[in-house]
Structure 1
Amino acid sequence: MPARDDRTGTDRTRATARRDPGRRPAPAVAPTGDRLIVGTVPPAVPVVGVLLVLAGLVGVAAAFPTYLVVDGEVLRQVHGPGSALLAVLVPAVQVAVGATLVRRAVPKFGLAYASITGALSVGELMIEVYRGSSSTSRPGVEVLAGERVLTSGIQVGAGWVLGVVALSLTVLAGAVALTAWGRTVMEDRGALDRLRSVLAGSAVLLGVAAVLCLALPAADVPAELRTDPATGLQTVVTREGSQALLERPGLALLGGLLLAGALLLCSVVAPSLRPRLAVVGGLLGITVTVLSAGLVGLRDAASSEELVWTVPGAGLVVVGMAFAALTVLAWRARRSAA
């Protein structure tokens, strides 16, 4: 009966190498998956998480009080269950991503999201400040919170103030995230590298499409067809409604230019971030911004009989869903490479 060999696999390999010096042991097989490495996480990372969580909570609180009082008419952003769900969409994502940063889990995912949304929120903040403070300097017909109003007199409400605070916290979180990015260590095995060119080209095209859609109102007042009773001649009368992104003066015009430029820049930068989860975070930030802009137009058209949902508004929803598809593609690249 042969003797039992109680040696471990390492001992048997070494014994075989001693008996046959020319034979080399088989190389170890690398594990599949991302092989994610998280190293140094600076103290600024949880600070970004706290700022995002605060921005999300304040954003939820801003959705329900009075937004603006325009010529004595009280405007609110929430008109029903559907608009309430839309109002908490962006804040809910902010709270979820901020919680991951507070726990220091996958830090560059949250830092990428905070940086992208912070850059996009600069223009949105300027437009919001114009609505509540400077729009009376050049009174005109405008669509605010789904209502067609004349901006000859505006009083800010608690909802507007809280909304400005939420946007300011988002911008601050993005600035802190940029300072913490270079000192945060997080790497993977490059599972997304073979798809980066596809993601980059698609994101740039979608960014251009999003800017073109943002240039026109997502919900507008339709033209009116009138008939002359004497001649029976029908004419189309254009009624003043929503102002386009680049039609507003002063601070709002600067905000619109910054928003359009930041959207194009973020569409270029997001697919080039490393590691893979940073790409997911960056694309998620663009997705939420573009999709919410299109859905706000749908909310305004649904809540007012004077407004209709426009083709650019529907285009924003389509582009937002396409960005969401790119986000899912980047997320699932780890499984396809495993």
Structure 2
Amino acid sequence: MGAVPAIARVAGALLVLAALAGAAAAFPVYLVVGGQELRSADGFGSALVALLVPAIHLVVGGVLLRGVVPKFGLAYAGVAGTLALGHLMIEIYRGRTSTARPGVEILAGERVLTSGIEAGPGWVLGVIALGLTVLAGAVAIAAWGRTVMEDGGRLDPLRSGLAGAAILLGVTTVLSLALPAVDVPDQLVTDPATGLEMVVTQEGPQALLERPGLALMGGLLLAGAIVLCSVIAPSLRPRLAAVGGLLAVTVAVLATALTAVRDAAASDELEWTLPGAGLLATGVGYALLTILAWRLRRA
């Protein structure tokens, strides 16, 4: 490992700032929808879910800021920033332009109609956190070629297998994101005139690619980034860089899956769906690949 350039430490500092902004965003009012104040964290369990991404950002950013195993941190920041770009567009749509085409959404565990939305400080801090993450990713990519860090190449014979598994998980993740992870169950009602039972379908939340404009562009970017990062992460060198890239994908997918679990558990109006279970399964799969890439150094 050579001298760590200053630009790599800048990427770590940006990641730390993104973590602090993301943690601060969990507790103030997120959005005000129809006069109802929504918060990302309104209990212990929801706080743990909301703080998962900031906690990992803080740890990895701190390690990178110190100049320890820099390509691990740079790979994490680069992948996290790439994935955060799509999330940033979706968040801007939610807080600014979703009222142009009102629809049912699941926001902070509540089923709401986006006919009138006011952005709260939690939303502003969340957008700042995502913007800083995107910036950290761009700086990390710029610092990659200037940072020297190599190993003995013990992982190289197994990289193709890791990449194949990661691509399969990436495609499955995108297919799971294409449908809502939580939905409104159908109601069974009795017709008072005939006494027959009927199934009444209720309008559920919009899927990732059903939203218009900026949200649609963000959804497409997010889907493409997941597949692209699944291909690139296992091929990064040295081995710890592959671990960092896979860790970033793992955190992003697990955070989305656990948010769906939180929403379904917090509301009696919502139920967890098969795509939501698929997201959780792929998140666990990415976590296993990350652990495998890390532990294979002993092979």
The answer to whether residue 178 in structure 2 is matched with residue 215 in structure 1 is: yes
Q: Which amino acid aligns with 1:228?
A: D
Structure 1 segment 151-230 matched on structure 2, within 5 A? 151-230=114-193
Q: Hey, what does 1:239 align to over in structure 2?
A: 202
The aligned residue for residue 213 of structure 2 is 250
Counterpart CA distance in 2 for 1:198 and 1:237 is 47
Can you list the C-alpha shifts for 1:142-172, whole angstroms capped at 9, x where unaligned? 2111111111111110000000000000000
Q: In structure 1, give the amino acid aligned to 2:57.
A: Q
CA distance in structure 2 between the aligned counterparts of 1:236 and 1:250, rounded to whole angstroms: 33
Secondary structure, counterpart of 2:111 in structure 1? strand
Paired residues for 1:301-312 under 5 Å: 301-312=264-275
Secondary structure (helix, strand or coil) at the match of 2:195 reads coil
User: Among the aligned pairs, what percent are the same residue?
Assistant: 69
Question: Displacement of 1:236 after TM fit?
Answer: 1.8
* Residue in structure 2 matched with residue 90 of structure 1 by the alignment: 53
Per the alignment, residue 85 of structure 2 pairs with 122
2:284 is aligned to 321
**Contact 1:40/1:183 (CA < 8 Å) preserved in 2?**
no
Q: Do 2:90 and 2:215's aligned partners in 1 also have CA atoms closer than 8 Å?
A: yes
> Following superposition, which runs of at least 4 residues in structure 1 exceed 4 angstroms of deviation?
none
**Contact between 1:79 and 1:303, CA under 8 Å: does it hold in 2?**
no
Work out the CA distance in 2 between the residues paired with 1:44 and 1:238. 54
Partner SS, residue 174 of structure 1: helix
Partner of residue 263, structure 1: 226
Residues 43-83 of structure 1: per-residue CA shift (max 9 Å, x gap)? 10110010000000110000000000011011111121111
> Scaled by the length of structure 1, what TM-score is found?
0.87
Matched, 1:280 2:243: yes
Task: For 1:124 and 1:157, locate their aligned partners in 2 and report how far apart those are by CA, in whole Å.
Answer: 18
Give yes or no for contact 1:223–1:236 (8 Å, CA) kept in 2. yes
- Mean Cα deviation higher: 40-49 or 272-281: 40-49
Match of 2:15 in 1: 52
Specify which structure has the higher proportion of helix: 2
* Bigger radius of gyration: 1
Deviations 1:214-264 (A, max 9, x none): 111111111112221222333222111211000001100000000000000
- The answer on whether the counterparts of 2:85 and 2:218 sit within 8 Å (CA) in structure 1 is yes
Residues paired across the two proteins, number: 299
What is the distance in 2 between the residues matched to 1:142 and 1:157? 17
How many angstroms apart in 1 are the aligned matches of 2:276 and 2:105? 17
- Residues 1:135 and 2:98 are matched in the alignment: yes
Specify the code of the residue in structure 2 equivalent to 1:261: G
Partner residue, 2:73: 110
Contact map agreement 2:27 2:42 (CA 8 A) in 1: no
Please point out which of 285, 290, 295 is paired with 2:258.
295
Name stretches of at least 5 consecutive residues in structure 1 with no aligned partner. Answer: 1-37
